């Protein structure tokens, strides 16, 4: 029960934060391209719940959800979206390059698949340090087209590196469907031929995702082979930006409606209720989160920009 509510809180925070982005983005003050996570919440919530605070994650340009699930730091999040001095990155990163190493969020990259080998190296360092930390690296189905994904899988499996690969498969790379990008029928079936633990699922049941991940971690602790998780989900909004794009012609609204009917956030809320959780209590938690988001965005708006000299800091030469 406690677990269920923790998972719900993570997802609710993500969903509401993004709804807040949608509300404020048209003001044109968050000048950074938004690749929205909506629809994906259960994956990051489930996986991050199975990780400890010191475990490390790596993400992509679509990492709002991952950042919030791992760090919970919506205050820093909005400060960075507004490019303000109060953000840890002071506007050097933006939506696509978030970073919070103290909470295990080790970075996200806007070059598809490029953080996969970096995650691998970080996990190797953990293995060498013997600190038992796990690294989880998140990427889309498009990333698996890139050679470096295969190189990294091979190295991880060869060197028995403590890493979880999470493929968040929304069937699209921008507007190109998997059927136009894959010369095979099942990725997990291929990966299963590598020396690793492959698990899969459909990603709107957050508790199931949590369980699947825990199972993967247990296998890894036992056989020292990396974990590959493959989850299908549906991207609610356009590739980049805050709008729907069902009129663009490359996908059908019906598909969305089907997925929306098993929306991860409302699904978990219903679960909680049917498991006897008190709706009032849920609403209280929701209100707390709403308030936190509201405060964060207001603080971000009111904060100053850093001085322009910051441009030259943290680069050598």
Ligand X SMILES: Cc1ncc(C[n+]2csc(CCOP(=O)(O)OP(=O)(O)O)c2C)c(N)n1
The binding site for Mg ion (CB under 5 A) comprises: 140-142, 170, 172
Of the residues 3, 174, 291, 302, which one makes contact with ligand X according to CB under 6 A: 174
Residues within window 139-178 making contact with a second copy, judged by CB under 8 A: 145-151, 153-159
What is the smallest separation between the CB atom of 310 and ligand X, expressed in angstroms?
26
CB of 132 or CB of 287, closer to other proteins: 132
DSSP code for 308 = G
State the Cα–Cα distance between residues 96 and 243, nearest whole angstrom: 18
CA 10 vs CA 7, 38, 74, 95, 273: distances in Å: 5, 13, 11, 19, 17
DSSP code for 237 = S
Count of all residues that appear for the chain in the document? 317
What is the smallest separation between the CB atom of 145 and ligand X, expressed in angstroms?
8
Residues within window 145-204 making contact with other proteins, judged by CB under 8 A: 145-148, 151-152, 154-155, 158, 173-176, 180-183
CB of 71 or CB of 170, closer to ligand X: 170
Residues within window 41-60 making contact with other proteins, judged by CB under 8 A: 56
Strands of the 197-202 sheet, one edge to the other: 105-109, 56-60, 135-140, 163-169, 227-232, 197-202
155: left (phi over 0), alpha (psi -120 to 50) or beta: alpha
**Crossing angle, helix 2-24 and helix 206-223, to 10 degrees?**
120
CB of 186 or CB of 261, closer to a second copy: 186
Tokens of 119: 């995650």
Of the residues 48, 66, 122, 203, which one makes contact with other proteins according to CB under 8 A: 122
Binding-residue pattern over the window 189 to 228 for a second copy, x denoting contact by CB under 8 A: xx--xxxx--------------------------------
Show the 3-state SS of 12-55. Answer: HHHHHHHHHHHHHHHHCCCCCCCCCCCCCHHHHHHHHHCCCCCC
Residue 230 binding: pick among other proteins, Mg ion, a second copy, none (C-beta 5-8 Å cut-off by kind): none
Residue 62 binding: pick among other proteins, Mg ion, ligand X, none (C-beta 5-8 Å cut-off by kind): ligand X
Residue 109 binding: pick among Mg ion, other proteins, a second copy, none (C-beta 5-8 Å cut-off by kind): other proteins
Residue 196 binding: pick among a second copy, Mg ion, other proteins, none (C-beta 5-8 Å cut-off by kind): a second copy
State the Cα–Cα distance between residues 83 and 304, nearest whole angstrom: 9
Binding site for ligand X (CB under 6 A): 62, 110-112, 139-143, 170, 172-174, 239
């Amino acid at each position: 029960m406690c677990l269920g509510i923790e998972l719900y809180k993570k997802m609710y925070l993500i969903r509401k934060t993004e709804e807040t982005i949608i509300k404020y983005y048209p003001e044109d003050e968050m000048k950074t391209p938004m690749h929205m996570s909506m629809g994906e919440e259960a994956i990051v919530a489930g996986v991050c719940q199975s990780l400890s605070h010191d475990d490390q994650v790596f993400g992509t340009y679509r990492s709002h959800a991952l950042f919030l699930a791992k760090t919970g730091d919506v205050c820093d999040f909005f400060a960075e979206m507004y490019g303000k001095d109060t953000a840890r990155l002071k506007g050097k990163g933006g939506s696509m390059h978030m970073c919070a190493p103290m909470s295990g969020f080790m970075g996200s990259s806007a070059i598809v698949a490029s953080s996969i080998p970096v995650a691998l190296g970080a996990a190797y360092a953990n293995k060498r340090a013997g600190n038992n930390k796990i690294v989880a690296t998140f990427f889309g189905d498009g990333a698996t087209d890139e050679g470096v994904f295969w190189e990294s899988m091979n190295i991880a499996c060869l060197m028995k590196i403590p890493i979880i690969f999470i493929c968040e498969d929304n069937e699209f790379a921008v507007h190109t469907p998997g059927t136009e990008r894959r010369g095979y029928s099942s990725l997990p079936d291929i990966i299963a031929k590598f020396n690793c633990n492959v698990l899969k699922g459909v990603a709107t049941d957050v508790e199931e995702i949590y369980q699947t991940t825990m199972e993967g971690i247990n296998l890894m602790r036992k056989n020292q082979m990396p974990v590959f998780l493959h989850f299908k989900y549906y991207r609610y909004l356009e590739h980049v930006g805050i709008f729907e794009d069902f009129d663009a012609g490359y996908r059908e609204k019906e598909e969305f409606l089907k997925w929306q009917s098993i929306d991860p956030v409302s699904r978990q809320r219903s679960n909680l209720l049917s498991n006897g959780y008190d709706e009032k209590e849920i609403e209280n938690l929701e209100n707390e989160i709403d308030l936190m988001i509201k405060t964060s965005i207001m603080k971000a708006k009111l904060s100053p920009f850093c001085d322009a000299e910051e441009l030259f800091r943290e680069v050598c030469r």
